[in-house]
Chain A
């Protein structure tokens, strides 16, 4: 009677991998003559990818849970053609009890779903990039910078580390735009972005804050280290020559030791870094002014 069902039934031994019983449906689907699968190794029936799947997921799960449902696999017929199947498998006394159904249409449906997912993933990636990046300099934009900085602040509170908040403003940028045109101004902004990437580290937040202003949060960086990094930034930016002079910037820095127990928020620290930036400008530009906002 089992030969009349339109589903494949077979058993195999998990210890030696031998097929011990099949109904006719299995032989029909796989193009074997009736009964000829018995004694063969189970591995012969499956594609290589399916074998990895069996070894990495199905068998461990069966040994723990004893039963698995609706597993999608690929079997091979005698001509080595691939046939997608869905299998329910049960293990009892080292015997595997398989019931299988061909799943050609279901497989096509899954494939369509996968293709759509891949498209969605690509679109989401592009959108995320556009939503978080400044299109001119490829630095983080203001919104992404706020999000990332707040994450760093939360981490710093937990670990008691220091963060340095740096505001950078290009000196006399208006002159560059007025005398050389906006295109040249844009080129300078791009070059500054590149130098920021050279000087600061992967773990820092580096953003174009707006116009000719940049904001950087230096990860795990106390006062002296921040000072050294800003000094390097001044030097490296000097390599950009515009209006026949090395480019200069003014920098304001607020350093926060989050291990002190005192609390603050991003906007208050940035206001302090901004205050330092204006101090640097008022003190003659091309310099860094720093403060320990939280000691």
Chain B
């Protein structure tokens, strides 16, 4: 049964996804965090964006300070479930024509949402995106083999502090009580296996290349010059597949350009969105 999501009021969704709205602009920008951490990833960018836009940030269910008792194993086993979170947040706030900015896997989540509900979105900005992290023979090189990603799941387990909370209910033969699962460890990046493993699986074992060519909104693809997760080649591949895409390489290192190079990311976004600097 999946009643957890069906009877949610607007207030429920705001608190379920820990939605935060700031800024005064006429246009709305939605910032969606990627796998691993939460909305705080955007902290270096949102003060600047608030001057131009109404800024919406949120946590996917299972991340950050989302309401964990809304977590539904089935819903969040594929990226479509996370896309549903995006759609419900937009609907709840009565948003239309939003500029969606997604980091990493959220770029794909945004794309799924924008194809399900095109009217909600006007443009997509993708920071270090990849439609598929897997190497698939000679036709596509996502950068990782299945074994690498299995090792990742194992590594996440080994870095999880909170075993007692996790194991106790199993030993006691009861499901997680609400108090126990109400909050993640408190840090903004959590490896709690109950939530992060399905997200990792949905992120790293999926192949969403087929939706690229169906994306009709204008897209800005920002790739890092040196990113071990999403290579420049992957960005170029996306540019070729998406009908209306602008592709830029940001001179930076790593997968978190919005944290390490926020000014460069902002500049590219402003030019794509025709915002005078």
Contact = CB atoms under 8 A, between A and B. Distances in A.
Interface of A: 14-17, 43, 47-53, 55-57, 59-61, 63-65, 71-74, 107, 110-111, 113-114, 117, 120-121, 124, 127-128, 148, 151-152, 155-156, 158-159, 161, 202-205, 219-220
B189 A43 contact: no
Contacts of B119: none
Interface residues of B, number: 50
Contacts of B171: 120
Contacts of B37: 56-57, 60-61
15 contacts: A14-B254, A15-B253, A16-B253, A17-B253, A17-B254, A49-B154, A52-B204, A53-B156, A53-B159, A110-B157, A114-B158, A161-B7, A202-B2, A219-B3, A220-B7
Chain A facing B: main interface SS: helix
B148 interface: yes
Interface stretch (B108-116, B214-222, B240-248, B255-263): B255-263
A14 B260 contact: yes
A124 to B, nearest CB: 5
Given A57-B36, A161-B7, A124 B255 contact: no
Contact of A48 (B34, B148, B167): B148
A55 B187 CA distance: 16
B140 interface: no
Contacts, number: 134
Given A72-B158, A161-B7, A61 B173 contact: no
Contacts of B256: 55, 59-60, 63
Contacts of A17: 226, 253-254
B219 to A, nearest CB: 22
Given A49-B155, A72-B155, A113-B163, A55 B253 contact: no
Interface in B130-187: 143-145, 148-152, 154-159, 163, 166-167, 170-171, 173, 175, 187
Contacts of A124: 170, 173
B1 interface: yes
B89 interface: no
Contacts of B187: 61, 65
A158 B149 contact: no
Nearest to A52: B152
B41 A47 contact: no
Contacts of A43: 228
Contacts of A73: 155
